[in-house]
Amino acid sequence: MLTAAIDLGGTRIKLGLVEDGAVAARDLLPSDSAAGLAARLPAVAKALDRLRAGRALDAVGFATPGIVDRRARRITAINAKWADAPGLDLAQWAHARWGAPLTLANDALAALAGEWRHGAAAGCDGAVMLTLGTGIGAAAVVDGRLLHGSHGQAAIAGHLTVQVDGRPCSCGNRGCAEAEASTSALPALARADARFAASALAAEAVLDYAAVFRLAGADPLARDLRARALAVWSALAVSLVHAYDPAVLVVGGGIAAAGDGLLAPLRRHLDAHAWTPWGRVAVRPAALGDDAALLGIAALAQEP
């Protein structure tokens, strides 16, 4: 089965051809999400046609931020990016272009599906994935089943409240994890601090958590931003463990490149604060990198 897999990221659109549980070919496009998804679909289609090199597609899989109605194959709501996406009929687009059926899923759920089938959560009946990047996402496997939710909202745990009366979030809530410690929120958080002008962060061409972790050893503002973010992510991890009872917490997304600088504090916090009398939750880095959501959405496309 040959599946064209599309992963809509806040910075990049990741594309792949998936066959026999492996990504056979891949490409990257800039997201340009402010221009809308409809404006990017021609470039996506052209890139996939280049990858498939004339081979017929059996399915098209779309992993997207936001809330997804998987039965209607519609994006119900999307937050602060791809504003036109809920009005698009992506199933019709896939059928008209390639005569192939569409599978649509939240991007964090697709990433966990990939890690559960092929990566860090393989063989687990209970797993949670936390994706840390431009936004914050989460998804869960409980009793051997991926959770979708009655309205597709089981995978938006980045909008769990971690700070009562915290920062306004674009979803309408206050104090969401995504508003408090995502890459999209970081520039405003840093610039709101009186120390920013004198901080080494002010000279960074790209202000992201890679810069924060790199500079934290010598720069007080970077050190405090790192500590604050680790506190937010750790609190969110505890809430996910208490909500979904996983044996494994998989951490992915661009921020996960911090490695043990991120994973070790998460492990310590979970060991100290998660109520798990049965034992300790294993904390593992995502194993599949950019391929996780591509492999996951392709796996979901094969389900009845």
* Domains parsed from the chain with CATH numbers: 2-106 (3.30.420.40), 120-285 (3.30.420.40)
Helix (H, G, I), strand (E, B) or coil at 232: helix
Report which of 12, 95, 92, 80 is spatially closest to residue 294, judged by C-alpha positions. 12
Greatest Cα-to-Cα distance within the chain, rounded to the nearest angstrom: 57
The average confidence (pLDDT) of the chain is 95
Strand partners, 174: 168
Specify the pLDDT at position 266. 97
Instruction: Output Rg (C-alpha) for the chain, integer angstroms.
Output: 19
Residue type, 133: G
Specify the pLDDT at position 80. 72
Tokens of 34: 């402010």
Residue 299 phi, psi dihedral angles, 5° rounding: -65, -40
Residue type, 158: G
pLDDT tens-digit series, residues 111-142: 999 999 999 999 999 999 999 998 899 999 99
User: Residue 136 and residue 183: Cα distance in Å, rounded?
Assistant: 9
Is pLDDT larger for residue 11 or for residue 217?
217
Tokens of 141: 């496997």
CA distances from 17 to 20, 49, 83 (A): 10, 10, 27
Residue type, 16: G
pLDDT tens-digit series, residues 266-298: 999 999 999 999 999 999 999 999 899 999 999
Chain length of the chain: 304
Cβ within 8 Å of residue 276, ≥6 positions away: 241
Helix, strand, coil content of the chain in percent (nearest 5) = 40, 25, 35
Beta strand extents in 65-121 (DSSP E only): 67-69, 74-77, 102-106
In the chain, % of residues over pLDDT 70: 100
User: Residue 13 and residue 19: Cα distance in Å, rounded?
Assistant: 19
Is pLDDT larger for residue 238 or for residue 11?
238
Measure the CA dihedral 143/147/149/154, to 10°: 120
Q: Are 126 and 245 in contact (CB under 8 A)?
A: yes
Tokens of 99: 């005569």
Residue 304 has pLDDT above 80, yes or no: no
Helix (H, G, I), strand (E, B) or coil at 27: strand
Specify the pLDDT at position 295. 97
